[in-house]
Amino acid sequence: MSGNGNRRTLLWLQSGGCGGCTLSLLCAEGPDVITVFETAGINVLWHPALSVESGDEVHRIIDAILSGQITLDFLCLEGAVVTGPNGTGRYHMMAGRDAPMQDVIKALAERADHVIAVGSCAAFGGITAAGDNPSGATGLSFDGEAAGGFLGDQFMAPGGLPVVNIPGCPVHPDWVTETLSQMSAGTMLPDDLDAVGRPHAISGKLVHHGCARNEFYEYKASATRLCEVGCMMENLGCKGTQAGGDCNTRTWNGSGSCISGGYPCIACTEPGFEDPGHPFVETPKIAGIPLGLPTDMPKAWFVALASLSKAATPRRLRENASSDRLKVYPDRHKSKRGRP
């Protein structure tokens, strides 16, 4: 239970959420999650899906950590911290323990060398905090866009890092395994995290990068219905140009992404994605101009570029964009042999 030699110890808890990030983690491949932990020198003290211990056995592990008998290197939390009602946390009691889950999380966070929020719920509140949020759900160090969350904006783990947020709904398995591997090797520094605690290795790219519909985007050849193959930014709410993540260059299960599956990016790696203020598959506009413009692009530039792009749209893209499949194919480029 305490690990061997220089192996790092990890405890994984699930709080207010659906467990989808664990299901995604179990789909890690090339290598699988067990191989990653072995290679990275991580000893899993307990994980609700990977471990055989249950009930009193789990409580003994937690008590041993809190008493100092076991050193805890990584505390991973999946799901938002439930603080209701009125800050008591009693909407979510830990099974077999007369204590709110929030109290257990706080006590373990004070013991852990590093604290990792797995998924957007643990990082920012996520779906669990949507709407009126009657459960008082919040992220570990952020409540939506606002710094602070459950542990407060001054929280710093003994390992020298704030809460490391690995976002996503669900999280990409590789984001978890690579982040933990880097942290286990001791090579992650505060400068490797962005303004909301996400590793730059995740948020340093946009979902837009590598999108199979980029040619349609460049010419603003847009789909108007989900079944069509054109760009989904203009009409169908796609936020791939605004959301941090390498979803289209690091595909899911070896081949897919939301966009390649025909659904717009809803920016699930970003704080507050759960309450966009409009239906996920609609793009809000003013005077025909989308409100959610690409990251770092001034509105005037977008309008000018969009007008030029639409004027130059090839017939192939214009007709295919509003089709449910490719109907017009690229013309074959004919060589000019014999000409000077």
* Domains within the chain, CATH numbers bracketed: 8-201 (3.40.50.700), 205-329 (4.10.480.10)
> Which of 123, 120, 113 is closest to 150 using CA atoms?
123
DSSP 133-153: -TT-EE-SSEETTEE-TTT-T
pLDDT value of position 301: 64
pLDDT value of position 3: 44
pLDDT value of position 1: 37
Distances (CA, A) of 51 to 42, 58, 305, 337: 14, 10, 54, 68
pLDDT value of position 326: 87
> Which of 204, 161, 152, 154 is closest to 182 using CA atoms?
161
Write out pLDDT tens, residues 202-260: 999 999 999 999 999 988 899 999 999 999 999 999 999 999 999 999 888 777 899 99
> Which of 264, 74, 85, 273 is closest to 176 using CA atoms?
74
User: Which regions in the chain score pLDDT beneath 70?
Assistant: 1-5, 293, 296-297, 299-302, 333-340
Tokens, residue 46: 């307990």
Tokens, residue 161: 């890092």
Residue 286 burial (10 A CB sphere; 0-12, 13-18, 19+): exposed
Tokens, residue 302: 């977008």
pLDDT value of position 295: 72
pLDDT value of position 251: 84
